[in-house]
Amino acid sequence: MSDAKKRQVKHQPAHPHVVAPVTPTPKTGGLPWPPLIYVSAIAISIILHLLYPLPWLGPPMSFILAPVGWLALLAVAALIFSAIRTMRRHKTTINPTAMPDHLVTDGPFGITRNPMYLANTLLLLGVGFVSGITWFVPLALVAAFITRKIAIEKEERWLAEKFGKRYRDYAKRVRRWI
């Protein structure tokens, strides 16, 4: 018997003429890959900077990028705080390896479908702009790409399966990043 059939039989209601929906297999457990990806990118950026420092832009660009970096870091704090607050208000998990209980579409989720991942990417860019460590910039993009492939695409399939048309409409209305 296939896994989908087993789930359907397992969730069979007491009344045989009422069909229970097949729920997606929860993604509980496992490593929280996105945070590890970004922590790894930070560590690799610092190690590469110590071993193979790359040149940073001189004035006037460095004078412009440092304040832009501080603004990015402020945006990181705002995104993380508001995303966690919004998820808690909707009583859904903030754990990236757990299946959400509710589809959250307001707060920062009304601007980007992935505010926490966007915040992590902005963190690397902001630190790179403020510190002048060039390695943070390309590794922010690499971390974002890996997060998309390892986490986001899988999460989007699960959300589409669990929330159906509501999620597909939301995905059409709100961009993945910004």
pLDDT for 61 equals: 87
pLDDT in tens, 11-37: 444 443 333 334 444 454 455 578 899
| CA-based nearest residue to 147, from 170, 105, 119 | 119
Domain boundaries, the chain: 68-178
pLDDT for 13 equals: 42
Regions in the chain scoring below 70 on pLDDT: 1-32
pLDDT for 32 equals: 59
CATH no., domain 68-178: 1.20.120.1630
State the pTM of this model. Answer: 0.80
Dihedral sign of CA atoms 72, 73, 74, 79 in order: positive
pLDDT for 31 equals: 55
